[in-house]
Amino acid sequence: MILGRKADVRRIRAAVAAVRDPEIDGSLDELGMLGDIRVSHSGTADVEILLTTESCPMRGELEARVRAALAEVSDVDSVHVRFGVMAEHQRMRVASGLRKGIQPGGPLDGPGPRVYAVASGKGGVGKSSVTANLAVAMALDGLRVGVLDADVWGYSIPRLFGVRRSPVAMHGVMLPVRAHGVALMSVGFLVPDEEPVVWRGPMLHKAIEQFVGDVHWDGLDVLLLDLPPGTGDVTLSVLELLPDAALLVVTTPQPMATSVASRVGKMARDSQMPVAGVVENMSAALCAHCGEESALFGSGGGEELAARLEAPLLGAVPLDVALREAGDAGVPAVLRAPASRSAAELRRIAGGLPRVQRGLAGRSLPLAVV
């Protein structure tokens, strides 16, 4: 190293120290991920980054961020990024810091993000597709968004987001998997592809409890829960673990779908959970060539359900080729085909999701002895 380049090393270190890890979303300096930095005679910056795990899935993205930061530093002709792995005591320190961000009873206790439980009465109405698109739409608007895939048996969030890998876990803290600007957690990240999940009540409750309480959902503005269809154990667990959640009901115009969806709404009302609104999906099929609408599933079902639940009809999403192709490609339509009518309607719904708050009736309140 040339002594005259010591100032360069300081500028390089400052630039790299400010880079944010794409998975934990903290600076490399505060996370202790910044290793040795050297500058060669030829002006090559040699930077060492300490990963939390050797199999870090965000290695490529992290290297790109480091290179982009050093592109702004003068006198750096080229960059060589080396990766090491944290020692166990360093991992424990990071995990301890993450654990401090998880409040007692779960990271969503007290003031926090808006929480929407997306539900349907029956399967096949496109509930998960609506959830994925609303999440990405809100992320595109600059919000920090998370999706908890609580549809344990029929998980589809990994497929809809085009990502399938295990989340990083450190000493009892899991980091959500990130895709398309959204933080994700699903049982689909924890089991082999196409493996059926044969769990019953207690195991389901424990899984949801861990997804709520052991995942580093740090700094979210909005959390969307993709519930399984119907009114089973998982929905009851969500009501218990996330008392501030508001219900978002997805239905098709078909009378059968709206009839069973009303049962979910009634269960929410009986449990003092507010209903944020109704989304009518597959409101009409759009011809890919002429754009003509066909009411394959009838009409008026969403409006009827909204009236029955005394909640607003937030929108009606048409079924077009772009929406179907986006789901198959693993890139939500609002990102892959933003000009499509389905994507435009989903973005409009996302921008108008109402803020609702559950009342105090039926809730256990903390007591303080003075």
68 and 119 share one domain: no
Number of domains in the chain: 2
108 in any annotated domain = no
12 and 132 share one domain: no
- The domain of 36 spans 3-86
Q: Are 282 and 346 in contact (CB under 8 A)?
A: no
Cα–Cα distance between 16 and 81 in angstroms, integer?
11
What is the arithmetic mean of pLDDT over 62-73?
Answer: 91
369 in any annotated domain = no
Highest mean pLDDT among 3-12, 25-34, 200-209: 25-34
Partners of residue 34 on adjacent β-strands: 49
Cα–Cα distance between 72 and 185 in angstroms, integer?
35
81 and 120 share one domain: no
356 in any annotated domain = no
175 and 224 share one domain: yes
186 and 54 share one domain: no
134 in any annotated domain = yes
Q: What CATH code is carried by the domain that includes residue 242?
A: 3.40.50.300
150 and 243 share one domain: yes
> Tell me, what's the pLDDT at 206?
80
> Tell me, what's the pLDDT at 240?
79
182 and 231 share one domain: yes
**Mean pLDDT lowest among 120-129, 327-336, 355-364:** 355-364
96 in any annotated domain = no
* Residue that finishes a domain, picked among 86, 102, 123: 86
b/e map of 98-115 (b: 16 or more CB within 10 Å)? beeebeeebbbeeebbbb
For residue 160, pLDDT over 80 is answered with yes
Q: In this predicted model, what pLDDT tens digit does every residue of 91-141 receive, in sequence order?
A: 888 887 777 655 444 445 445 789 999 998 888 889 999 999 999 999 999
63 and 135 share one domain: no
Tell me the one-letter amino acid at 153. Answer: W
364 in any annotated domain = no
What is the arithmetic mean of pLDDT over 320-346?
Answer: 94
97 in any annotated domain = no
Q: What CATH code is carried by the domain that includes residue 38?
A: 3.30.300.130
120 and 53 share one domain: no
Q: Are 125 and 257 in contact (CB under 8 A)?
A: yes
109 in any annotated domain = no
For residue 278, pLDDT over 90 is answered with yes
Q: Please, what is the Cα angle at 9 between 6 and 10, to 5 degrees?
A: 95
**Between 115 and 359, residue with greater pLDDT:** 115
Q: In this predicted model, what pLDDT tens digit does every residue of 227-268 receive, in sequence order?
A: 988 777 777 777 778 888 999 999 988 888 888 888 888 888
Q: In this predicted model, what pLDDT tens digit does every residue of 167-218 receive, in sequence order?
A: 888 877 888 999 999 999 998 888 777 666 666 667 777 878 888 888 888 7
Q: Indicate the burial class of 298 (C-beta count within 10 angstroms; 0-12, 13-18, 19 or more).
A: middle
pTM: 0.81
Cα–Cα distance between 132 and 348 in angstroms, integer?
14
What is the arithmetic mean of pLDDT over 270-292?
Answer: 85
For residue 7, give the nearest of 71, 15, 82 by alpha carbon: 15
